[in-house]
Structure 1
């Protein structure tokens, strides 16, 4: 369940970052200027990282004991976190790569957990 929430949260975050440049002119009219704030983005990303860590740890502890999903999660969060350090033209690539790594960590965790459950079913 937490993996599915993590996938959804990461996907929403990626959509937010990709669509934000198109919506920036409308944000003040809608009273949503906080969505363009880097602090808000970093806060949401930190919450995603915490949720992801909890989801992955649950699968790690109960089922598969593999660290690879954690590596993907933290690498994805790191790539996503530093996207503002590069040019605006490079940011979409960092968003796609970071979000892709985070989503991949959850998908792999789900598969590892499901494979373990299937192998241990009588």
Structure 2
């Protein structure tokens, strides 16, 4: 369930970042100008990272014993976090790359967990 929540949160965050330049002028009229603040993005990204880490380590501990979904999550979070260090022309690409890594981490974690749910207590034999 946390993986699905992580996919949803990451997708909403990416959508927010991509659509923000289009809807930015309307935000103050709607009382939502806080959504244009970089601090809001970082808080949302931290929450996404915490939920993602819990999901990855839960899958690791309970089912598959593989860390690469967590590594993909961290790469995606770092790319997303550092997007403001690049020009405005490159930022949409950074958003897509970061979100792709994060969503891929969750999808791989789900698949690994589902493959191992039928495994014995000795560990997962699905490779």
TM-score between both structures, scaled by the size of structure 2: 0.92
1:104 is aligned to 2:104:
yes
**Which residue number corresponds to residue 45 of structure 2?**
45
**Which residue number corresponds to residue 9 of structure 1?**
9
**Which residue number corresponds to residue 125 of structure 2?**
none
Partner Cα separation in structure 2 for residue 94 and residue 9 of structure 1: 17
**Which residue number corresponds to residue 114 of structure 1?**
114
Partner Cα separation in structure 1 for residue 58 and residue 76 of structure 2: 19
Q: CA RMSD in A?
A: 0.8
Secondary structure of 2:117's aligned partner: helix
Partner Cα separation in structure 1 for residue 27 and residue 86 of structure 2: 23
Partner Cα separation in structure 1 for residue 59 and residue 86 of structure 2: 34
Q: Quick check: which one's helix share is greater?
A: 1
Name the stretch that deviates more: 111-120 or 83-92.
Answer: 111-120
Give the 4+ runs in structure 1 shifted more than 3 A: none
Aligned residues: 120
**Which residue number corresponds to residue 83 of structure 2?**
83
Partner Cα separation in structure 1 for residue 8 and residue 25 of structure 2: 26
Q: Which runs of 5 or more structure 2 residues have no equivalent in the other structure?
A: 121-127
Name the stretch that deviates more: 77-86 or 110-119.
Answer: 110-119
**Which residue number corresponds to residue 124 of structure 2?**
none
What aligned pairs does 1:18-57 form with structure 2 within 5 A after superposition? 18-57=18-57
